[in-house]
Structure 1
Amino acid sequence: MDHQHDAAKPGPQARVTTPITADLLRGALDLERTEHGLLPHRLPAWARAQYTDGQLAMAESQPSGVRLVVRTRATVVELDVLATKTVYQGLPPRPGSVYDLLIDGRLTDQASAPGGNVVAVDVATGSTETQPGPVGTIRFAGLPDRAKEVEIWLPHNELTQLVALRTDAPVEPVPTGRRVWLHHGSSISHGSNAASPSTIWPALAAALGDVDLINLGFSGSALLDPFTARTLRDTPADLISVKIGINIVNADLMRLRAFTPAVHGFLDTIREGHPTTPLLVVSPILCPIHEDTPGPGAFDVDALQAGQVQFRATGDPAERAAGKLTLSVIRDELARIVKQRAADDPNLHHLDGLELYGEADFAELPLPDRLHPDAAAHHRIGERFAELAFRPGGPFTAERAR
């Protein structure tokens, strides 16, 4: 792979301007027309209107898994974007966002977009201040002069408005002949601490499984929301997975009495639109701070003062007796729910998250902030998921999904 570079100014070769339309994009469920261009969303407008939470709004509008896909002979591709970068005051700076260029499915180059808006978040108060910035251009040159499939994966962690697409040869949409995998999860599925958008674990698993990904991983917002269940219900898909648990615990959102009916209702809603589609329920990966200690989760103040971002669990393990949730409780309950339902639903399956990342993995690849896997662990989780889900006889095997 070529070295990562900052974007160059538009070159004279890129003279063909192509309108950016829905048929050139994958992974987005809605496109909002703004004064600058198109803003991809991963929840439809009706769902966004039902709860105008700032965390959810930020997460669903960050285009994790969204990519521009064209077939072309172009050797130069330029994309004008208006990024919105988020800066957390009082926390160490986060790595810059990355655009991945894939040619015929292979990661070939990377770029970062200059300019853009900056949203400064005061961690202590939650207040935000937006500093407007200019449109920037990312440029990929030296592409092979042949017909090829070109994908530009948008940053998984940065709101991105698409302004213009220019090339030095015509482009055309690429109809997909692959199965569509619809996945919902938390910040880990969203891609927190992954190195780039095509190397978040769901993208890696999708590539290994030869499927097209729609990623509804919402950082902090995998909370069994009914509008998310209805979105999953209404989105065409050949395969569906839901990864449930960590956000319920670290938000201290509900007790066991509410959790069990909420999971049933979530699955019932999905089944209204996908009665026989392979549906995989995935429990949480290992997270030692929350294995037996309830939430809410919080920043570790001592670590912040030392210049590190780390999280801690603030609940009392004794509160489990009153129905407070921990990851171990949720794993047991999800396994029980799926076993109960699978008696009447042979296409419903369960995957223990500890098979994706467990004690031995934590010993080798610990969670840097005690909550999110790093880039190497994303690779491992993606490979494990592909091995377990797409293997012959597995829940997502081709013969089962047809």
Structure 2
Amino acid sequence: MRYIGLMALALIGSGIRADIAWHDASALTVEGRGWTDTEARYDRLPARARGQVPPSVWGLSKDSAGMAIRFQTDASEVEVRWSLTSDNLAMPHMAATGVSGVDLYELIGKRWVFVGNGRPRVKDGNTARFALGGKGAHDLRLYLPLYNGVTKVEIGVPEGSMLRPGPVAEPRSRIVYYGTSIAQGGCASRPGTAHVAILGRLLNREMVNLGFSGSGRMEPEVAALIAELPAAMFVIDCLWNMDEGSIVTRVVELAAAIRKLHPDVPIVFVGQSHIVTGQHPTRFTRLQEQAVAELRRKGFTGLHLVPGARLLGDDGEGTVDGVHPTDLGMMRQAEALAPALARILRSRPREAPRRP
């Protein structure tokens, strides 16, 4: 009895409650996971992509950007415990809370509301506790790190509390977003403030984030993998990583790869963002528009262009370094893209069923 008492005191002293029941988050609803045949449970590409895609893409696919755990509980507070794949918790221009932290949101009515952020301190065994207001069931989403991977994520609730998976989206209702470091989430202060995550909340859609920092180059091998995924829409936002000489060819090849398996699914090409308004449309944006015009002449339909001019605003305040958005820039991007994407989705003759 004395041993049990000392153990309880030790747990209290460490910040871990003795009456918490821990559950493996992978048994709940994992959102943003394009493939299930992965090397590790929170990888973003299938195991067979190793050696097929460029090494930089493969390495970045180990980051859990865009993934989230959807679950429901009647507990008044929730604890989260997560371990990371890397001890590089932050970057010079991006906070540890975004690189390696977790974000909890609650669905209240029809709106997702921020609950709190879990701050990483070590590679293994990070913990965070979140108080939930009100009584009854809580519908929650836990966003995972943007520029780090996770080896394990656990959800803790008081013993006897209800914990169950959240609703599962029909794969054909998801939006696949392929792009650069900006799409991956650089440099959001938290996982939930990355513009792809914000878009998911604004559009009420599960997002599959295939942003690869410095490596969104539309390679044929990557294009073939992206085309495998069922989706309601494909968004292509790669211009910051492209070489001028390859843009037209790769846009054409990527669209053809998607169209081969998805004849009617909209493909949206996003123009290059730039903090200097006089630079719009940029040379790279014009080349992308040229490629889309070529595809339309060949009979391709369902191709859409979103200009880059409004993505960051006109005051130069939307980035941390002239390229990567701050939270302000991320919100501006999401608010500029959301109406355009919503219009395109509404214009589809038939749409896949959506989750509750």
Amino acid at match of 2:290: R
CA deviation string 1:64-112 (max 9, x = no partner):
1111111221223223211224268xx8474222311111121111221
Q: Which residue of 1 aligns with 2:30?
A: 25
- Number of the residue aligned with 1:345: 300
Residue 113 of structure 2 aligns with which residue?
106
**Unaligned ranges ≥5, structure 2:** 1-13, 352-356
Counterpart for residue 9 of structure 2 = none
Cα contact 2:249–2:291 (8 A) shared by 1: no
Cα distance, 1:177 vs structure 2: 5.1
Tell me the amino acid that sits aligned with residue 307 of structure 2.
D
Pair 1:328 & 2:282 matched? yes
Does residue 9 (structure 1) correspond to residue 15 (structure 2)? The answer is yes
Deviations 1:25-50 (A, max 9, x none): 1112356898xxx5511111112332
Whole-angstrom distance in 1 between the partners of 2:175 and 2:335: 16
Kindly indicate whether the alpha-carbon contact (under 8 Å) linking 1:238 and 1:401 is maintained by their aligned counterparts in 2: no
Q: CA deviation at 1:279?
A: 1.2
* Distance change >3 Å, CA 166–CA 350, structure 1 → 2: same
Q: Which whole-Å CA distance do the structure 1 matches of 2:76 and 2:181 have between them?
A: 35
Q: 1:237 to 1:32 in 2, by over 3 A?
A: closer
Separation in structure 2 between the aligned mates of residue 196 and residue 262 of structure 1, nearest angstrom: 32
How far, CA to CA, are the matches of 2:340 and 2:125 in structure 1?
42
Match of 2:247 in 1: 259
Counterpart CA distance in 2 for 1:140 and 1:227 is 42
State yes or no: 1:201 paired with 2:195: yes
Partner of 1:396: 345
Q: Where does structure 1 differ by over 4 angstroms across 4 or more consecutive aligned residues?
A: 30-34, 91-94, 398-401
The match for 1:5 is none
Three-state SS of the structure 2 residue aligned to 1:150 is strand
1:79 is matched with 80
CA RMSD, Structure 1 to Structure 2 (Å): 2.9
What does residue range 156-167 of structure 1 map to in structure 2 within 5 Å? 156-167=146-157
Partner AA of 1:106 in structure 2: V
Report the secondary structure of 2:147's partner residue.
coil
**1:169-212 deviation per Cα after TM superposition (whole angstroms, max 9, x unaligned):** 23222233573111111111111111211111111122111211
Distance 2:119 2:38 in 1: 23
SS in structure 1 at match of 2:268: strand
Q: Distance in 2 between matches of 1:374 and 1:233?
A: 30
**Cα displacement (A) at 1:160:** 1.8
Output the amino acid matched with 1:102.
Answer: Y
Instruction: Name the aligned partner's letter for residue 269 of structure 1.
Output: A
- 1:173 aligned partner: 165
Query: Structure 2 length as normaliser, TM-score?
Result: 0.81
In structure 1, how many angstroms separate the alpha carbons of the residues matched to 2:238 and 2:63?
20
2:264 — aligned with what?
276
Change (3 A) 1:221 1:210: same
Per-residue Cα deviation, 1:7-26 (whole angstroms, up to 9, x for no partner): x73213322x3333365211
Give the stretch that moved more between structures: 104-113 or 91-100: 91-100
Cα distance in 2, alignment partners of residues 217 and 380 from structure 1 = 18
What TM-score do the two structures reach when normalised by structure 1?
A: 0.73
Letter in 1 for 2:32: G
User: Is the contact made by 1:31 and 1:40 (CA closer than 8 Å) also made in structure 2?
Assistant: no
Rounded to whole Å, the distance in 1 between the matches of 2:133 and 2:104 is 10
Runs (5+) with no aligned partner, structure 1:
1-7, 117-133, 249-253, 293-326
5 Å matches for 1:196-275?
196-248=190-242, 254-256=243-245, 258-275=246-263
Change in 2 beyond 3 A, CA 1:12/1:87:
closer
CA distance in 2, matches of 1:214, 1:79: 23
> Are the aligned partners of 1:183 and 1:240 in contact in 2 as well (CA < 8 Å)?
yes
Query: What amino acid sits opposite 1:13 in the alignment?
Result: D
Q: Does the CA contact (< 8 Å) of 1:10 and 1:139 recur in 2?
A: no
Give the aligned partner of residue 141 of structure 1: 131
Distance 2:215 2:93 in 1: 23
> Identical aligned pairs, as a percentage?
20
Amino acid at match of 1:279: I
Kept in 1, the 8 Å contact 2:44–2:62? The answer is: yes
Q: Cα 1:398–1:205, aligned 2, differ >3 Å: closer, same or farther?
A: farther
Change (3 A) 1:190 1:92: closer
**How far 1:372 sits from its partner (Å)?**
1.1
